[in-house]
Each structure stands twice: as structure tokens, then as C-alpha cells.
Amino acid sequence: MPTRREVIDRIRRAIAPLYEPREAEQIARRFTFERCGITLTQYVVAPEAQADIPDETFAQGILGPGCGIEPSEKTVYAPFDGVVSQVPSTLHAVGLTSDDGIELLIHVGMDTVEMQGKGFKGLVKEGEAVKAGTPLLTIDLRAIKAAGYPATTAVIVTNSDELGELKMLAEGSVSAGTPLIKF
């Protein structure tokens, strides 16, 4: 069975005479996401609507669509196989790119950049390959709340224009491994 990348390349080559290279790549990716039913999963509980995230930038979808989650554990896990694309020095967030090309930002808490890394421990480095379930960060929920910040974690797809419409699949309390978002 061909990999998703191989399928994308075949579609891109087939439609290349009709489109600019970047547009052909986007169309091929969108088609394979729709056909393959790629689903993101995140190991946390209590997903909430994006509009309910207590930060205007995330709530209004300026960085892309997604949702908020209220973490109940101290560890943030990779929701899919991919590569770590960003880990800021303040360790309050992590960027990932899936093997399928989904670019995801997991931003722990609101305004937690102000904590300057206190209460956060990075477990991965930029450029590191990860599998679904790989621990990415540990967080001290008490420290976040003691500092006066909400622990609401934004899970944002930053390249959604290439993927189609995002659908929330879970509400309320969910267990680890429950599908959270689908395109």
C-alpha cells in the first residue's frame, strides 16, 4: 500500500499541468486528507470550543482553527507521528508537523510565556521525530494557576488553509486517545 506522501506526489504530478506547483501540492494534500480521514488525537480531557478559549488571538482563530482543552494531567503528549518544529525557550508551547503535513501548535495556558519557563519542562527538542503518545512537555498546573493564568491549552492547526474544514469530534470529559479534531 502506498504511503500518503506517495499518493500526494502522484496526484500532484497528475494535476501539475493545470496548476502552479504550490497550488497543485495544496489540492493534492486536501484531497488525500478528505479521502484518508486523518484524525488528530490529544491525550487530555475537557475539550472546549475555540471561541471559549480565554485569549482573543486563539478564540478568534487568528493563528488558525482548533480548540481549547483543560488539561488534567501534568504531561502533554504528541497527538500524532511527526517532527517537533518549535519549542520556545519558555517551554510553554510546542509546535509539531505530522508525517501527513498537519502543522499543530499546542500552547499550554494563556499568557504563560510570562512565567519564563517556571512550571514547564521540555522533553523534546526542535527537529526531533516523535510518535503519537511521545511525552513533549511536563507542566505544573498548580504553578500556572498560582501565577494567575488559566491552564486552558490551545490546540491550533496553523496550516488549515491546506486541509479543509476542521470538525470537533469530542466534547466534555474525554479519555486519552479520544479523537479530538478531524478534517
CB 66 within 8 A of CB 167: no
As annotated, the active-site residues are 107
Give the separation between CA 89 and CA 83, rounded to whole angstroms.
18
